[in-house]
Amino acid sequence: MKHRFYSAGVVLALALTASAAPAKAPPCRYELRANGAVVYDTQTHLEWQRGIEMTGPASQMFADGPARCAALNLGVTSVDKWRVPTLLEVLSLEDTSVVTGLHMDTAAFPATPRLPALTQSRGPRYSSARTAFLFDFETGVTERFSIDAGPTTVFLRCVRQAS
């Protein structure tokens, strides 16, 4: 096997070029459905709302999010069964190859705001009904968030298991 060695300048130039490009999943990772309103993930078999359901204060979205997702109808089936995603489901959208910019495929999800995503996932250590997790697609950071901590603006994208 041949090995190529590059100077530090070439490596830095390649790294800067790669990090400046928007995230892009492998060609077969996502499929658009329902006239482009739904993104099907071929790896997780989840269907995601391509747009976002809402943005706003985390406390309001934590309270209103489950009902908003449950009422969502994107024309996939007569009973869509949309819900607020878990933390692991949201993390499955992260593109870890991105250094700067949104850590997700912006071609599949073009309307993603530069705000943390709200999840309803609560582990056994964080069983409080007033605790959620936020994932920031711009920084790649996950944090536990107390709804009572004050105003934080977040966004919500609904998910469902593909039928």
- What pLDDT sits at residue 157? 94
Residue recorded with tokens 């976002």: 52
Residue 22 covered by a domain: yes
Predicted model pTM: 0.77
Burial class (CB in 10 A: 0-12, 13-18, 19+), 162: middle
Where the chain has pLDDT below 70, the residues are 1-27, 76-80, 121-130, 150
Domain count of the chain?
1
- What pLDDT sits at residue 111? 84
Distance of CA 23 to the CA centre of its chain: 12
Domain limits at 50?
8-161
Residue 71 covered by a domain: yes
- What pLDDT sits at residue 18? 40
Residue 2 covered by a domain: no
- What pLDDT sits at residue 20? 43
Residue 66 covered by a domain: yes
- Specify the CATH number for the domain of residue 66: 3.10.100
Residue 3 covered by a domain: no
Decide: 49 and 157 in contact? Cβ < 8 Å.
Answer: yes
- What pLDDT sits at residue 96? 85
- What pLDDT sits at residue 5? 37
